[in-house]
Structure 1
Amino acid sequence: MMGQRTVAQEALFYSFNLDRHVSPDHLLRSIDRFVDLSGIREHLRPFYSSTGRPSIDPELMIRMLVIGYCMGIRSERRLCEEVHVNLAHRWFCRLGLEGDVPDHSTFSKNRHGRFRDSGLLRQLFEMTVARCIAEGLVGGEGFAVDGSLVRADVSRQHAVESADALPDATSSHAVREYLAVLDTAAFGGATPVPPKQLAVADPAARWTAASRERAFFAYATNYLIDLQHAVIVDVEPTTPIRQAEVTAQRRMIDRTHERFGLWPERLAGDTGYGDAKNLSWLVEERGIEPHIPVFDKSARSDGTFERYDFTYDQEGDSYIGPTGKRLRQRQKVYREDRPFVDEYGTRRYRASKLDCEACDLKPRCCPTQLARKIVRSVHEGARDLARDIAATDAYLISRWQRKKVEMLFAHLKRILRMDRLRLRGPNGAKDEFLLAATAQNLRKMAKLIPMPAPDPA
């Protein structure tokens, strides 16, 4: 006989333990061990009024944001709905069954005000780094650096050719943010080359064709990670240009040393960080071994002698050619002293015209020139050191370990679903990148540090 469920009369009282209904292996239960927000209220106290109605608890909003970025919930409106109906989310937010979920507009109000003015999200990220260090997940010997493009929340169709066509700064918050970073080395000041287009909704986003896809507006998130367990020790937003990424690398290394006392012995990176000035900064100013390919365009494809076929004489400050003739910076004495280094930081060495005309190897050396010329950077010593390191086994290991930062970017875009920004402007990109890096560090600790065994009692 088919049974039929009878509608039970609702009980007057319920005994419900929310903690018992959250699975012991739930991700949020594991993450909750490493979220310490005890000092958040004292940090934000100067940004709240001492009178008026009580505000939404800032710890509740931060816990909700942690849920959103750890679980890949990109919409704050949907985040509020999920926290309202999900028991595990309510448990993590300390809401219980009867607690009210704040409106989604509350996040925007606090983000544009208290959170940014107080640097709260940077403090939250650094809290996870300090916890990783305390748990022994950061070795501090080897770092890796890289940047990745993230699409801006703008449309390709709403763009202008120059800044003159943008709305007035008094009526557009996006234009005011764009003007504020116009001379910053990480954004507008990274290159004197003007962009081909500017997005009206977010002019600070850069028009880029660096990927294989169609050109789009984007920001770049830059990670500095420790190679032991791929913990993110710093993050910096920039415009998607190589010079800006190099600037971010220097800022992150110095800030990590200032905040946590970490000073790596070696740094792994791709060729974008292998220019002469950056290698010199790492070697001569910071004492860090660059496990980075040298950015070099001296190779030739026409079969003529390359620069490496000439030997540099340190004592005589000259190059010795295959026939033993010397290339010097000056072949004669000038009445007026001329600088040896040009505006690009390079020295030029030239062979004698008479030596080249009488040389049998001229067709293989400089067939289209009167005399052979060689350019040498003032930072060539650091470049030579990077080339010597590239021939070691430690360099091969660093090249393999550098893939860990690429995996973090893949995790960021595929698991955390940040293939496109939701907030606009440099400050919005900074907020999102900091929260995403915080979520990745929390998930890393939850994965590597097992949950303690439950009490038998």
Structure 2
Amino acid sequence: MMGRQATKRELFVSVSLDEYVPEDHLLRAVDRYLDLSEFRANLADSYSHTGRPSIDPELMARMLIIGYCYGIRSERRLCEEVSMNLAYRWFCRLGLKDKVPDHSSFSKNRHGRFRDRDAFRQLFDSVLRRCMAEGLVQGEGFATDASMIKADARRQRSCPGNVAIDWGDPEQATRPVREYLTALEQANPVSPSPKRISLTDPASTWTAAAGPAIFAYSTNYLIDLKAGLIVDVEASAVNKMAEVEATKIMIDRVEEKFAIKPQRLVGDTNYGVAAMLGWLVDEKRIAPYVPVWDKSEHYDGTFSRTDFFFDAENNRYVCPAGKYLRPPQRGQKKTLLRYRASVYDCRVCDLKPRCCPNMVARKIDRSRQEPARDIARALGKTKEYRQSRRERKKVEMLFAHLKRILKLGQLRLRGPSGAHDEFLLAATAQNLRRMAKRLLPTKQNMQLVIS
């Protein structure tokens, strides 16, 4: 017999949201390891002691964590989802009849007290401290990498970089424009102009590194290799030198805040420039498991720099014919030292067609950080280096998770501060998810424990 559902309209229903959230739900695990007491204390001085009570900042933080954990990019849609989803209400400490904050509250607080207090950085640090307390951060080895994230800027609202732009009254300009103009005042005036400048987000970088040219920012991750936890994140322009500087900032900041300095750093070729390797080896005493950025190898049949022996004691190169190449007496303060052979030696040398067929005499450029480069080359031949290449994939997996699961392929907020906020919140969500899934017992294990 076909059944029929009987509709019962009960006037009074006693409901506990805790009963409707499964024991193995992700938000239960996140809630177990999330402590927002420091977040509240950091913002305490930003609120008045009198007047009408404001929206609880912890509530907004929990809602933002839900949005970044589940890839809900729109704050308007986030408010709707929290209103309808029982698990979301439980995580946000909201009852069935409690009102969800309006989406405009996030913008007002983000551009005000949250940004003034760098609240999202503090939230990221507090989650990282919990990860460290749970033993998920070893501190022996770090890995670094950068990924390009599209900015909220269109080509149609841009102009060539060599064109003078009238930004009008800075006081009346938008926040991204004010940040850009402030950065221009502090920057080197002789720095090259970008190819194109966005009128809506002028600090974003015009780049074609990943296909058709777009405006974008780089998110830089520094991760611990034990569990793949993000120990720091930094927003930067999309270019190699900016990403290298961002890595230096992150390493210094982690050492200053948490007294952690890795024994080794794993990275790709972008971090194998001489200045970075010299900084790692000479200043930080960190072993660089990084491929050396080297353009000295020749593929046209002529001798490369590796075919010349460097006599460190006498500061000279010895060519395959046994002749010497010495540095100039002047200009020793330059980053690159140019070693030159004698014109008279090269003129009568039988190896000249294989050494310098198009030059009067052979020249070799040597970086002042060449000893650090030699250390990186030596490490590149070890078994540990081959293992580090596999470990480096943990950073790439985090970027894939960031774009495919958390849906952060394009920024919603503009300007460096907007990118800063979004990257910090996304990294915080990734750490919470990683910690929850590693530490929370599985459903089968929980049943065994209960039984």
The answer to whether the superposition gives a TM-score over 0.5 is: yes
SS at match of 1:223: strand
* Range with bigger deviation, 40-49 or 416-425: 40-49
Select 2:305's aligned residue among 302, 307, 322: 307
Taking the aligned partners of 2:189 and 2:228, their CA distance within structure 1 comes to: 28
Which one of 172, 176, 179 corresponds to residue 181 of structure 2?
Answer: 179
Name the SS of the counterpart of 1:80 in structure 2: helix
Q: Which AA in structure 2 matches 1:361?
A: L
Residues 233 and 189 of structure 1: CA distance in aligned 2, closer, same or farther (over 3 Å): farther
- Normalised to the residue count of structure 1, the TM-score between the two structures is 0.94
**Are 1:275 and 1:295, in contact at CA under 8 Å, matched by a contact in 2?**
yes
For 1:70-91, what per-residue CA distance to the aligned partner results, in whole angstroms no more than 9, with x for missing partners? 0100000000000000000000
Q: What is the letter of the counterpart of residue 356 of structure 1? A: C
Pick the aligned partner of 2:331 from 330, 339, 344.
339
| CA–CA separation in structure 2 for the residues paired with 1:4 and 1:350 | 96
Matches within 5 A, 1:261-280: 261-280=259-278
C-alpha contact 2:28 2:91 (8 A) present in aligned 1? yes
User: How many residue pairs are counted as aligned between the two chains?
Assistant: 444
Matches within 5 A, 1:14-93: 14-93=13-92
Distance 1:183 1:232 in 2: 33
Asked if 1:101 corresponds to 2:100, the answer is yes
| Cα deviation code 1:38-83 (max 9, x no counterpart) | 2333221111122221100100000000000001000000000000
How far apart, in 2, do the equivalents of 1:340 and 1:258 lie?
34
Give 1:5 deviation, angstroms.
3.5
Are residue 422 (structure 1) and residue 412 (structure 2) matched?
yes
Aligned letter for 2:435?
M
Q: Which amino acid aligns with 1:366?
A: C
Matched, 1:395 2:385: yes
Which residue identity lines up with residue 91 of structure 1 in the other structure?
A: W
Q: Please say if residues 147 and 221 of structure 1, whose CA atoms lie closer than 8 Å, have aligned partners that are also in contact.
A: yes
RMSD, aligned CA: 1.8
The corresponding residue for 1:154 is 153
Equivalent position of 1:443 in the other structure: 433
Counterpart amino acid of residue 173 in structure 2: S
Within a 5 Å distance, the mapping from 1:218-257 to structure 2 comes to 218-257=216-255
Match of 2:167 in 1: 167
Q: How far is 1:370 from its partner?
A: 1.0
- Is contact 2:38–2:126 with CA below 8 Å preserved after alignment? no
**Alpha-carbon spacing, 1:232–1:430, altered in 2? closer, same or farther (3 Å):** same
Work out whether residues 236 and 243 of structure 2, in 8 Å CA contact, stay in contact via their aligned partners in 1. Answer: yes
Amino acid of the structure 1 residue aligned with 2:277: L
What secondary structure is seen at the aligned counterpart in 2 of 1:145? strand
Aligned to 2:401: 411
Equivalent residue letter for 1:216: I
The answer to whether the Cα contact below 8 Å between 1:191 and 1:243 also exists between their aligned partners in 2 is no
Give CA deviations for 1:352-399 in whole Å, capped at 9, x if unaligned.
111111111111111111111111111111011111111111111111
Residue 5 of structure 2 aligns to which amino acid in structure 1?
R
Distance in 2 separating the partners of 1:64 and 1:117: 20
CA change 1:190–1:286 in 2 (3 A) is: farther
Q: Give the C-alpha shift of residue 192 in structure 1.
A: 2.1
2:279 is matched with which residue: 255, 278, 281?
281
> Which residue of 255, 258, 272 maps to 2:256?
258
1:183, CA displacement in angstroms? 5.9
Does the C-alpha gap of structure 1 residues 381 and 421 become closer, same or farther in structure 2, counting only changes over 3 Å? same
Aligned AA for 1:390?
Answer: G
* TM-score where L is the length of structure 2: 0.95
Structure 2, unpaired ranges of 5+: none
Q: Secondary structure at the match of 1:229?
A: coil
* Maintained 8 Å contact 2:146/2:220: yes
Would you say the 8 A contact 1:313–1:320 is kept in 2? yes
Whole-Å separation in 1 of the counterparts to 2:86 and 2:450: 25
Partner SS for 2:221: strand
CA deviations over 1:411-437 (Å, ceiling 9, x no partner): 000000000001111110000000000
Secondary structure, aligned partner of 2:184: coil
1:166, CA displacement in angstroms? 4.8
Identify the match of residue 365 of structure 1 among 355, 359, 363: 355
SS of 2:13's equivalent in the other structure is coil
**CA offset digits 1:193-238 (Å, max 9, x no partner):** 2111111111111101111x10000000000000111100000000
Is structure 2 residue 405 aligned with structure 1 residue 379?
A: no
2:338 to 334, 342, 348: 348
CA distance in 2: counterparts of 1:321 and 1:4, whole angstroms: 95
Structure 2 distance, partners of 1:283, 1:394, is: 17
* Counterpart residue number, 1:294: 292
**Which ranges of structure 1 fall in alignment gaps of 5 or more residues?**
331-336
Q: Is the 8 A contact 1:22 1:87 kept in 2?
A: yes
Identity %: 57
> Is the Cα contact below 8 Å between 2:267 and 2:290 reproduced in 1?
yes
